[in-house]
Amino acid sequence: MTINLEYEASKQLDFDYKDLIEKVVTQCLDEEDFPYEAEVSILLTDDKEIQELNKNFRGKDAPTDVLSFPALEYKKSGDFSFLDEAGDEYFNPDTGECILGDIVISVDRAISQAEEYGHSLVREIAFLTAHSMFHLMGYDHMTDDERLIMEDKQNKVLNELKIYR
């Protein structure tokens, strides 16, 4: 597994965010029985940068907590069978890893949401990472049924890692 992690936020985190993110990404992949080695790019940034990305890619001129940019198009959430026949299209030619996509997390938003929800910043960064990983694996929360499935998966991952509210 490769996690291309960049930290561009001005505020510094006082915990080992690299280790936390690696554990969450790994647990999400395990939860879904992802059948290949994976590559994910993650950027930790600030409200100003994520607002610009949100404006450019989603047409929303406001900061958000996390953005997900899946590299794969799924017919069904969590169904990776199409990769067996896709050839090399979705795989890094140098590593052979399946490229899942990109995640952008606002450290500013994570800090404010941790305070707002009354839990640790570790929990908030872990939650945002898990949430976005499930987007990269085809899940969404546009309907109540989809939201409940995604919430269940996120909670299961965080509970397995003993990261509680």
Q: Annotated binding residues for Zn(2+), as ranges?
A: 131, 135, 141
The amino acid sitting at 72 is L
**Residue 53 one-letter amino acid:** L
| Cα angle 21-108-64, degrees, rounded to a multiple of 5 | 85
Residue-level length of the chain: 165
**146 CB neighbour count, 10 Å cutoff:** 13
| Distant-in-sequence, close-in-space partners of 145: CB < 8 Å, separation ≥ 6 | none
**Annotated binding residues:** 131, 135, 141
SS3 104: strand
